[in-house]
Structure 1
């Protein structure tokens, strides 16, 4: 299932879940799990868990599972797993719930994490933690992408409807073997091949009434109640709301059609390339025009070169103008080097790339509070991965281009949707400042 902004709702989730479970079990053997009983140690335990799981994920990055396709946007199972692990540190409520479940089980069974026979139980608790976190992350990303409200429960509802559609599609495809249930879903006895079998090609063609009847017939034909007809109240209101179901199905279908078009190399991609070139020229002209305002001044090839300062600007403190971002201490530099090494970048990549910034550049002044990976993501969006004005220190030696968005997100220890959101917000600030 595809929805705007979401990354974890597609076919690769099962492999992401299994990889995180495997690496978590390895981590539990290395860290002091008895600290689940000491509330004062829960933050330190999360740090130790994150470090151990990240190391285990890196060790599995080149495995068949790690390199497997995680979603339709080109992200691998390893990349998705690492991104969700970092989200756990940002949204610690899910860790707190996990720790509470571990402590509760300890009260019943003692230090069960030492028992090899308890691996299944450990995996389930880890799965529960990441499954709920996944829906929260995707719900937040959906809001950022669309501006519409969304909750983890709504993401769960989308997924239930997508699963129901696929179950119905399977029944339709084998209608002769499932004639009684297909007839009940369609609301009429079958007399030969039903035309709906040929008409329903995508989820957009699935009717809300079919979803409701499918759920209603599940206990009779499948032995267990359908999701709309269980004792749980999660979906209770939906079985009486076909209009709401239809709207949700249509949204899934519309976005899947749109994103499928984006995946194909059609003529519009040439137009997109021309638009990118036009945008590059536009930003260059802005910089050159600012320089041309001073007669006889040489051309300045800096990224979005600073306009000539007015009298008020000239009076500002020079240290403020030259500020290229927060200072980085030795401990942070060591962490940055470790991240760069994991991404096959030069160890001092971030340090050298920061030093290569033009501190007097207008762009740097506007984005002074943003991290370097966010700034580089801005340049990549506006000017592309390669540009003659980029300092060599910004480029990945392996490709001669700016690092990929995946690399930049990992350098900043944030998820891809968060990187895109902050990048777009930064671009909006640049555009607003330029308009003034």
Structure 2
């Protein structure tokens, strides 16, 4: 198949799991013989804009007319079989969906977060889960609370985009890939068309090396942010230290808004090491030397890439018992779940997974088997191809994996579809 990937790359200042997933899927498809091209914008490029250009960026969030015309022209010239949309914020906008309609190309979209129902995409506010905007036609609560970057003004473009583009998304995308069943449940409750929502977990490359022995440390690998449970983890670790410790050190890898607090907290301690950012190979090596990875997110995660990466390395996880973690981690079998937001429960789970070594080894082995069944590249490729074929068939009718020759993306079909969508 000929696939065009559409993605607004996140800032390189913060390592992005979503960027990594997009790149890995493209590589997987190419290795399988598919032709994959990319239409992208980069958030890094905003810094090079003029002052007026930077000021105009929020206006492009709901709609970028230049992107519509450029993408539509490229689609008509290259005639891909399917377009795979990932992130469109802030420089692409939902105009990419209209461009695909203009050129009459079927679309699949991976929903990496909750941006279809929540302006910041987190379902999290003031330290707790928030679903006030789920099912609402206009995300007024998000604006009122300033949910994006703690700013009402910054939240407005996102809320406007949701309100004016909801129907375009829901009718213009043939298949939405939800990356967990937990995410799909929330989106169905919000009113999204369930027949277009399918679960396709992220896949994880096989690291080639697995844990040997019991492991050297407990590991937090991710963004140093409150939503990831970093504050909760520090509180739980202090409880453990006051009660004799876990027997192995805690290693933290990553960067984010809590970096200063983490650096100060770890300074001078023998039981904590903060390593900052590390390259992908170093991260894999650190995971493979872990007693367990810790994923204490207080927000409802849509997937949990670090948990799947740990599974690939035969390492169990301790994770918060909500969101996608409840389907990634089988409690007591492939890892342990703890009560979300409860420092005492997290501390107890950490102590158990660090001290029950035989059980830990069994959980690691079970985690690897689960990875092979559900999150391996072979499974990821199969589900991608299935989704693409379904989208193509859904657009053109019947069970053919490709439209009839010479009738795929004619200008007249694109024009008629654009007129039905109303345009912008």
TM over 0.5: no
Structure with the bigger percentage of strand: 2
Which structure carries more relative contact order (alpha carbon 8 Å, separation 6+)?
Answer: 2
With normalisation by structure 1, the TM-score equals 0.25
Tell me which protein shows more helix as a share of its residues.
1
Q: Which has the larger radius of gyration?
A: 1
